[in-house]
Amino acid sequence: MNNVYLYEGGFFSFLSLLCELIKTKKNPDDIKEINCYQKRLFDQEIYLLIKNERENIEQICKRLDRVSTYMIYNVFLSNHEEKEMIIYRFFLSYLKYGNKVFCMRRIDDVNNLIILSKRVRREAHKLKGFLRFQKMKNDFYYGEISPDNNVIGILADHFKKRLAEDNWIIKDTVREIYAIYDKKEVLYLTKEEVISLNIEKTEEEKEIEDLWKSFHKTIAISSRENRRCQQNFMPKKYWKNMLEMENEK
């Protein structure tokens, strides 16, 4: 049988389970979030009752330094099927070698963790540039993203610092989650929790969008045209949320 340990969802619930597994010396074959878990043949589901979740989280955070916490968090946001087990096995190596483990990339789980963490940060970085807001009649700026990884939190942190004096909403259309900012704090809501969202553009919006599209077109030097280079830097999968690429194929 495969021992599959389940956690409720969210980073802290995962960390708490991770701590429990190590403390009780369990040998998981897999770790999955309850909502995303689909039972396979020979799976044995195990749901651990954790008495003191907070204590577990504190214990694990004490163990980790800044770099490893940062990387584990990034990998937790990735869309990799085995992200939990990669983190779990990385953590075992980390306990054994300490932070010099980052220089031992021959260990597969260390290597995977570093590569996945970079991949998530890279996508978040690209979207910090590619996300487009539209101004809505209710005075909110509204933008949609469709990322591979769950980067909405990284983006919300970025825009909270940058557009602190405006109201804005970012929607992840893949995961159907919303980050809503009201000039004070960011609130994360699921589709079910968002009761009504009035996304109607202001009259002025089309004019500004036209200005941007004109600028985007004009700034290119035609004798240097290089569509392949454009696509390398700005992969097509992001185009559907980018106003200036709407009519491109």
The span from the CA of 224 to the CA of 67, in Å, is: 42
By CB under 8 A, is residue 163 in contact with another protein? yes
Output the smallest distance, CB 205 to another protein, in A.
Answer: 9
Residue 102 lies near another protein (rule: CB under 8 A): yes
Report DSSP state, residue 136: B
- Out of 215, 236, 240, 246, the residue judged to bind another protein by CB under 8 A: 215
Q: Minimum distance from CB of 213 to another protein (Å)?
A: 10
Contact 9, 33 (CB under 8 A): yes
* Angle value at C-alpha 198, between 175 and 186, nearest 5 degrees: 55
For the bound state, the minimum distance from the C-beta of residue 84 to another protein, rounded and expressed in Å, comes to: 22
How far, CA to CA in Å, does 236 sit from each of 138, 140, 215, 222, 249? 31, 27, 20, 21, 8
- Phi, psi angles (nearest 5°) of residue 187: -120, 135
Q: How far is the CB of 45 from another protein (least distance, A)?
A: 34
Residue 208 in contact with another protein, rule: CB under 8 A: yes
* From candidates 33, 63, 135, 144, binder to another protein by CB under 8 A: 135
Our CB check for another protein shows the closer of 105 and 191 to be: 105
62 binds another protein (CB under 8 A): no
State how far the Cα of 47 lies from the Cα of 157, in Å rounded to an integer.
32
Among 20-28, 36-44, 171-179, 226-234, the segment contacting another protein (CB under 8 A) = 226-234
From the CB of 220, what's the least distance to another protein, in Å?
4
Nearer of residues 7 and 168 to another protein, judged by Cβ: 168
Is 184 a binding residue for another protein by CB under 8 A? The answer is no
Residue closer to another protein (CB basis): 198 or 232: 232
Measured CA to CA, the distance from residue 47 to residue 44 in angstroms comes to 10
Distance CA 130, CA 207 (A): 20
Question: Considering the rule CB under 8 A, would residue 234 count as an interface residue with another protein?
Answer: yes
Q: Is 137 in the site for another protein (CB under 8 A)?
A: no
The stretch near another protein (CB under 8 A) out of 7-15, 22-30, 182-190, 208-216 is 208-216
Half-sphere exposure of 188 toward its Cβ, with a 13 Å CA cutoff?
13
- In this structure, the dihedral spanned by the alpha carbons of residues 226, 232, 237 and 242, taken in order and rounded to 10 degrees, is -60
One residue of 40, 103, 139, 198 binding another protein per CB under 8 A: 103
Burial class (CB in 10 A: 0-12, 13-18, 19+), 27: exposed
In this structure, are residues 172 and 77 in contact, taking their beta carbons and an 8 Å threshold?
Answer: no
User: Does residue 144 interact with another protein by CB under 8 A?
Assistant: no
Q: How far apart are CA 177 and CA 38, in angstroms?
A: 21
Catalog residues that contact another protein under the rule CB under 8 A: 100, 102-106, 111, 115, 125, 128-135, 141, 143, 159, 161-166, 208, 210-212, 214-230, 232-234, 242, 244
